[in-house]
Amino acid sequence: MMRLNEREIIDLFISYFKDPLLNKVRGDDVVVVPIKYNMTKRTNKTTRMNFVLKSDMLIESTDVPKIMKPWQIARKSITACVSDFAAKGIRPYACLISIGIPRRYSKKDIIGLAKGFSKASKEYKVRILGGDTNESKELIIDCNMMALTTLEDNKIPRRNGAKAGDLIVTSGKFGYSSSGLKIILSNLDAEKKFKSKSLSSVTYPEPRVEFGFHLAKYFSSSIDSSDGLSSSLYELAQKSKVDMLINKIPTPKELCDFADSNSISIEDLLFFGGEEYEIIATIPRSNFKKMVEKAKKHRIKIFNIGEVLKGSGNVFYKKGGIQKLVKNDGFVHFAR
């Protein structure tokens, strides 16, 4: 029997649902649902808004390194949702949290979870308004986040809007989280400062929310990089039916030393990590100057990493004058 991966399972489920709205919202970071309501009965004036939804599940055995504390796990579960909203330039308002708690969890552990949720709620200004609790064999947290926006539907960047000629930008450096996971799982050695930063990127990820909230109006397409740089670029390229050429990746200075000393390909660390929570976006060249000015005003860093080309959904990396096809790889549940 053929084993399906995460995305194939989602497509299979959707094939059984007949709602025409699914054709518009499927396969993106958030679900945008158009709603209408009358402001007053007297004027009968109709206001259009968009209801934005996101559900993200955290599973202890696949998403949580053993060094993470309960409060860090709880915070991360909300961070993942907020990051997807930020990639679309939408500030989330509230969320519901459903938790499966294993019997081995002590009261101290559960208090830790509560503190982590509280910390994230204050950090991202997202109200936690309820949810559900049950017993499970391992810790499971399902965060269901929501927002209302007056942004028109065509002003919200999707994954399929990239056009040939657009520039490709990102919000930060790559390689920390993939290095952190290798340090944790394989007990690898690293320079003290780089090790601390890498481990922190795993246990205390910091999504680039202001990058998205302030700059998303300039994006033609966008995604967060939680499944890895390669996988995220391929998502944009394939949904938009274009090719992407990457010619420069923002890289920590110490990453080369870490890769060399542990005989790891630096390109593997950059492209195939995941959990970075950086934002990757394409920008029409006509918008780039305005976006840079806006970013400077808010002290936001922008990294220009490449350009969009005509094509059929491939990603290429050009380094030292040599261009090669990047493997489509990253973190996918049930991957073969």
Domain chopping of the chain, boundaries: 17-154, 158-325
Average pLDDT over residues 72-99: 96
In this prediction, residues 194-200 reach a mean pLDDT of 95
Q: What average pLDDT does range 230-248 have in this prediction?
A: 96
Helices (H), 187-244: 192-203, 209-215, 229-240
Please determine, for residue 332, whether its predicted confidence score (pLDDT) is greater than 60: no
pTM: 0.88
pLDDT attached to residue 28: 75
Rounded Cα–Cα distance for residues 7 and 56 (Å): 14
Contact of 174 with 276, CB cutoff 8 Å = yes
Write out pLDDT tens, residues 81-93: 999 999 999 999 9
Mean pLDDT of the residues in the chain: 90
**pLDDT for 171 beyond 60:** yes
Q: What is the pLDDT of residue 232?
A: 94
CATH architecture of 17-154: 2-Layer Sandwich (3.30)
* Residue written as token pair 């990102």: 170
Q: In the structure encoding, which two tokens stand for residue 315, read together? A: 């990603």
pLDDT at 26: 60
Instruction: State pLDDT tens for residues 102-156.
Output: 999 999 999 999 999 999 999 999 999 999 999 999 999 999 999 998 888 888 9
Q: What is the pLDDT of residues 258-312, one digit of tens each?
A: 999 999 999 999 999 878 899 999 999 999 999 999 999 999 999 999 999 999 9
Answer for the pair 49, 38: CB distance below 8 angstroms, yes or no: no
Buried b (16+ CB within 10 A) or exposed e, 189-219: ebeeebbebbbebbbebebbbebbbbbbebb
- Residue 1's pLDDT band, with cuts at 50, 70 and 90, is very low
| CATH superfamily assigned to domain 158-325 | PurM-like C-terminal domain (3.90.650.10)
Q: What is the mean pLDDT of residues 47-57?
A: 87
Could you list the beta-strand ranges (E) of 20-77.
31-38, 46-59
pLDDT at 107: 97
